[in-house]
Amino acid sequence: MRMLFADIDLLDENLDYRTHQWVGVSDGRIAYLGGAAPEGADAAAYGEVYDGRGKLLMPAFYNAHAHAPMTLLRGYAENLPLQSWLNDQVFPFEAKITPEDCYWGTLLSCAEMARYGVVSFSDMYYHMQEGARAAIDAGLKMNVSDTLIAFGDVGLDELPLRAQDDRLVSELHGAADGRIVVDCNIHAEYTSNPRAVADMAAYAKANGLRIQLHASETALEHEECKQRHDGLTPIRYFESLGVLDVPVTAAHCVWVDDGDIDVLAERGVFVAANPASNMKLGSGFAPVAKMLARGVNVCLGTDGMASNNNHDMMQDMYLLALTAKGSTNDPAVVTPKQALTAATRVGALSQGRDDCGYVAVGAKADLCVLDTSGPSWAPMTNPLVNVVYAGHGADVCLTMCDGVVVYREGEWPTLDIERAKAEVEARTKRIIGEL
């Protein structure tokens, strides 16, 4: 697909504001960027000309932690702390989910994410072939990982997950022109054993894969891990088993201590903050300001739809900044640029997508356009501040992934939104009826 964004304001690769720009997209990448329109044949080669007046072009969002099929559970498990939420509500519901359910739950999640300017997400769940199929059909990018849960003294080779990971790697890694990336996964310390965790770390290293995991989401998880493993916190437990020898995205990290933060910084771990989910489940506030100050790679996730309950990354970006200020009583921490960087460039890097997450010639054309003509955008004293504190996912009017429009003005060119909604409604009703 080719398109020329004409006379549009934008946030460039440094998130600096530039007015009256022309941006040409060709073959999935940004091919032209300048303060004047390309001339002659070059201009004609871009095909559609998009009128950028009253609009802001910026990098699209990269959701660094999600459970996309959990759209099926939206509004189902409410007002519970994490352990009760999981054991009493979520796990029994998930036991009834079929592969086809996962497809439709993920497809609806893709539609919602595209509507909010998200082009890529890191997902950990089950039946991930179906999740990947949904992302491919929707035109989005996805880091897929099937979940390691291993109780008792059992190794990876003794689990069905080993064969499943082999299939994912052979069939999906790099699929859809690189949009699909296969990661390894460790659900958490409390749902696994040291042998299986060490095996998964070795598997990831042998296959050149990244790892997604949960760590220190609640105080209970953090303290019980220390009791089980001679004082080791979840982060240092994973480090002791070789997990941090490969690129890792650790979700939540709400209760990490100073020593953990040193490890996270030294080992280059990506921390996927999930402020909406952490508040909704009463888990606490991740020390985002301290992690950023110490050089930790902080990115941003929405988590699942039973603990958020939407994929509006602009909402979560807003919360990322505000909760850091409120929890530290320091209004100077987590600047708008840091919050937006977490939601864009650092999120892309957490997924191993080095040429994504910024607006510059040669970068992948992963873009979103915001309508800035509404009253909440005036005055434009500082557009970056407006994006983080005044903007909303509803302001997104176009989302482009690898140069292909996946959402535009209430339409999803790549999927049937009404069918996706109906399928999820029916499947959720069926599952609840089976409980």
Task: Specify the pLDDT at position 44.
Answer: 82
Task: Specify the pLDDT at position 1.
Answer: 84
Task: Specify the pLDDT at position 286.
Answer: 98
How confident is residue 43, by pLDDT bands cut at 50, 70 and 90? confident
Which CATH superfamily, name and number, covers 61-350?
A: Metal-dependent hydrolases (3.20.20.140)
**Concatenated DSSP letters of 274-331:** -HHHHHHTT-----HHHHHHTT-EEEE--B-TTSS----HHHHHHHHHHHHHHHHT-T
Task: Specify the pLDDT at position 86.
Answer: 84
Whether residue 191 contacts residue 149, with contact meaning beta carbons closer than 8 Å, is answered with yes
Q: Lowest mean pLDDT: which of 76-85, 295-304, 321-330, 343-352?
A: 76-85
How confident is residue 80, by pLDDT bands cut at 50, 70 and 90? confident
Instruction: Look up residue 175 and give its amino acid.
Output: A
How, if at all, do strands 184-186 and 180-182 pair? Answer: unpaired
**284 Ramachandran zone, left/alpha/beta (phi>0; psi -120 to 50):** left
Whether 41 shows a pLDDT value over 80: the answer reads: no
pLDDT tens-digit series, residues 233-244: 999 999 999 999
Whether 118 shows a pLDDT value over 80: the answer reads: yes
Tell me what the mean pLDDT of segment 198-209 comes to.
98
Whether 47 shows a pLDDT value over 90: the answer reads: no
Whether 183 shows a pLDDT value over 80: the answer reads: yes
In degrees rounded to 5, what are phi and psi of residue 426? -65, -40
* N-term to C-term CA, the chain: 46
Q: Distance from CA of residue 129 to its chain's centroid? A: 18
Task: Specify the pLDDT at position 39.
Answer: 86
Whether residue 350 contacts residue 272, with contact meaning beta carbons closer than 8 Å, is answered with yes
Query: What count of other Cβ atoms lies within 10 Å of the Cβ of residue 331?
Result: 10
Task: Specify the pLDDT at position 253.
Answer: 98
How confident is residue 45, by pLDDT bands cut at 50, 70 and 90? confident
Which CATH superfamily, name and number, covers 3-59+362-408?
A: Urease, subunit C, domain 1 (2.30.40.10)
Averaged pLDDT of the chain? 96
Task: Specify the pLDDT at position 31.
Answer: 96
Whether 282 shows a pLDDT value over 90: the answer reads: yes
Domain ranges within the chain, ordered by starting residue: 3-59+362-408, 61-350
What's the half-sphere exposure (Cβ side, CA atoms, 13 Å) at 310? 14
Task: Specify the pLDDT at position 49.
Answer: 95
CA dihedral 131, 137, 138, 144 (to 10 degrees): 30
Q: Which residue has the tokens 């996730």?
A: 301
Tell me the C-alpha to C-alpha distance, in Å, between residue 29 and each of 58, 82, 142, 402: 14, 41, 18, 7
How confident is residue 79, by pLDDT bands cut at 50, 70 and 90? confident
- What gap in Å lies between CA 419 and CA 366, rounded to an integer? 26
Find the helix or strand (DSSP H, E) in which 392 lies.
none
In degrees rounded to 5, what are phi and psi of residue 432? -60, -35
pLDDT tens-digit series, residues 124-173: 999 999 999 999 999 999 999 999 999 999 999 999 999 999 999 999 99
Whether 72 shows a pLDDT value over 80: the answer reads: yes
Q: Could you tell me what percent of the chain has a pLDDT over 70?
A: 100
Tell me what the mean pLDDT of segment 58-70 comes to.
97
What would the two tokens of residue 268 be?
Answer: 């280059």
CA dihedral 385, 387, 388, 394 (to 10 degrees): 150
In degrees rounded to 5, what are phi and psi of residue 202? -65, -40
SS3 of 387, please? helix
Task: Specify the pLDDT at position 81.
Answer: 81
Task: Specify the pLDDT at position 83.
Answer: 83
Whether 60 shows a pLDDT value over 80: the answer reads: yes
What would the two tokens of residue 383 be?
Answer: 């557009």
Task: Specify the pLDDT at position 312.
Answer: 97
Whether 421 shows a pLDDT value over 90: the answer reads: yes
Whether 396 shows a pLDDT value over 80: the answer reads: yes
Tell me what the mean pLDDT of segment 305-333 comes to.
96
Task: Specify the pLDDT at position 123.
Answer: 98
Task: Specify the pLDDT at position 77.
Answer: 82
Instruction: Please tell me which residue, 1 or 234, carries the higher pLDDT value.
Output: 234
Give ∠ CA 234-164-140 in degrees, rounded to 5.
Answer: 85
